[in-house]
Structure 1
Amino acid sequence: MLQALFGSKGFENISITDYMEDFDGVDHTLIDVRTASEFREGHMPGTINIPLNEIGRRTDEIPTNRPVVLVCATGNRSGAAARQLAGAGREQLYNLTGGISAWARAGHPVER
């Protein structure tokens, strides 16, 4: 069943529009995998920062009982993080395509 939903990669790429529609009112964790300095420059509201190079050793900070949406600047690093977490057996993973760049371009709020 999961393979049918998420495909062989173990996660789903999700657009900004789909994220806004599908996760409105849904308990989930939003993780920004950019560096701490990039995160300080601006991030999506409610996001926690776990840089990509720390994901493997900080998995205990990532809940397993709800969906996890990963974001970076454009979707590349968050995709790598999603692959890494899926490879470790994590489920309910989503990669936000376009990242914070697309989020900001669409006029959504950015915290600094």
Structure 2
Amino acid sequence: MKTEQVGDALFETWTVDEVETALNNHEIVLIDVRTPQEYMFEHVEGALLMPMAFFKADALPGQTDKRIVFHCGSGVRSEKVSRAAIEAGMARVAHMEGGFGAWKGAKKPYIGTNMSTGAPHRVA
């Protein structure tokens, strides 16, 4: 995990392995900031959707029970959202390095779309 001090806040960049471990251990809430269309086509199972276009830092839950980690397709949008959350007063913010592309590249499981039926299915 990489960390950066931004004023009084701590900005963290997590690897896909760190995110997978924390997600499997129920230690984080993974928030996908991609578009609804991107999310519907394929997403990390268990990730919540809060598109960057509708992002409101004050709508986020506190982080007393679980940490919040943002992700997008490549890491660019999730970094922007993370920095916006810091500007809104969050003291500790994290995002996943490389986004969903890195997740798939590391052969992590996700929910995809069966192109012959249009139904969601697990991709291992």
TM-score past 0.5 threshold: yes
Shift >6 Å, 4+ stretches: none
Tell me how many residue pairs correspond in the alignment: 106
Q: Is the 8 A contact 1:72 1:100 kept in 2?
A: yes
Given the two structures, how large is their TM-score scaled by the length of structure 2? 0.75
Compare the two structures and name the one with the higher strand fraction. Answer: 2
Q: Is the 8 A contact 2:23 2:29 kept in 1?
A: no
Cα RMSD, aligned residues only: 1.9
Q: Is the 8 A contact 2:22 2:28 kept in 1?
A: no
Q: Where do 1:37-76 residues align within 5 Å?
A: 37-56=37-56, 59-60=58-59, 62-64=60-62, 65=64, 66-76=66-76
Compare the two structures and name the one with the higher helix fraction. Answer: 1
Higher relative contact order (CA 8 A, sep 6+): 1
Tell me which structure has the larger Cα radius of gyration.
2
Q: For residues 25 and 91 of structure 1, what CA distance do their matches in structure 2 show? A: 23
Q: Which runs of 5+ in 1 are unaligned?
A: none
Q: Percent identity?
A: 25
Q: Which runs of 5+ in 2 are unaligned?
A: 113-124
